[in-house]
Amino acid sequence: MGPNATVTGPGRQRAAGPDRDDADPTAAWSEYLAAARQLDGVRRGAAAAAGEQARSAEAAREELTLVRTGLASQQERLRELGVPAISLVPSRRS
């Protein structure tokens, strides 16, 4: 970054010097509003993505609860039919 530059955002620079119109506050305000709108859009997008992720996680937890209930019921029936408990435990394969 040169000695006559000011940072205006990630990766953006405004040149400072005699050809720059620092006396125009409306230009600075317009830049501020544009940056604020962009930031708000990013924030809303992130919030929407986080909300969707939370809904997906909750749906997965609910489904897992149903699967576990079904497996427990099946395990109980198999035990009543005489299947050894060791046969009903998941095995790990390497």
Q: Whole-model pTM?
A: 0.54
Q: What is the largest CA-CA distance in the chain?
A: 92
Question: Is the confidence at residue 54, as pLDDT, over 60?
Answer: yes
Question: Is the confidence at residue 55, as pLDDT, over 60?
Answer: yes
* Domain ranges (residues) in the chain: 25-80
Question: Is the confidence at residue 6, as pLDDT, over 60?
Answer: no
Average pLDDT, the chain: 85
CB burial string 28-44: b at 16+ within 10 A, e below = eeeeeeeeeeeeeeeee
Question: Is the confidence at residue 49, as pLDDT, over 60?
Answer: yes
